[in-house]
Amino acid sequence: MRMTKQRKLILDVLKKSHMPQSAEMIYEKLPDDNVNLSTVYRTLDTFYGEGVLSKSTMKNTSYFYVSSQDHHHYMICLGCQTMYEIECHLDHLTEHVAKDHHFKITHHDMTVYGYCETCQKNMNLL
């Protein structure tokens, strides 16, 4: 994969962010007017396919974040849409499954959906 100027700009926005970002959120933060939204989408798909990025999806919108050595996942509240970072405990399981099926895993994603404590109280779910 070639690292173009546009790809570097998009990756820099994601590296500076502490939370996953949608294509539109990234586009709004780009300093260069020469990058259009379709380029952002294509770049995100390329980075995701290469394992550079991970993603979570909420209400038909994908949110991307940089994959890292200290791999993690997210819980997303369906009420207030707050994202909570959680540690990954799937590595042992994925290694076992890959071995059993002779499968080479390049990366994995997991997003847990539900309701935070505040939203549960507001919905009388507690």
pTM: 0.69
Q: Residue 25's pLDDT band (boundaries 50, 70, 90)? A: very high
pLDDT value for 70: 63
Task: Kindly list the strands in the beta sheet with 83-87, ordered across the sheet, starting from the edge strand earlier in the chain.
Answer: 83-87, 72-77, 111-114
3-state class of 42 per DSSP? helix
Between the alpha carbon of residue 48 and those of residues 44, 90, 117, the distances in Å are 6, 19, 32
Q: Tens digits of per-residue pLDDT, 82-118?
A: 988 888 888 788 889 999 999 988 777 788 889 999 9
Tell me, what DSSP letter sits at residue 54? Answer: E
Cα torsion for 15, 65, 79, 29, to the nearest 10°? Answer: 50
Statement: residue 10 has pLDDT above 80? yes
Number of domains in the chain: 1
Domain housing 73: 5-122
Q: The CATH number of the domain where 9 resides is what? A: 3.30.1490.190
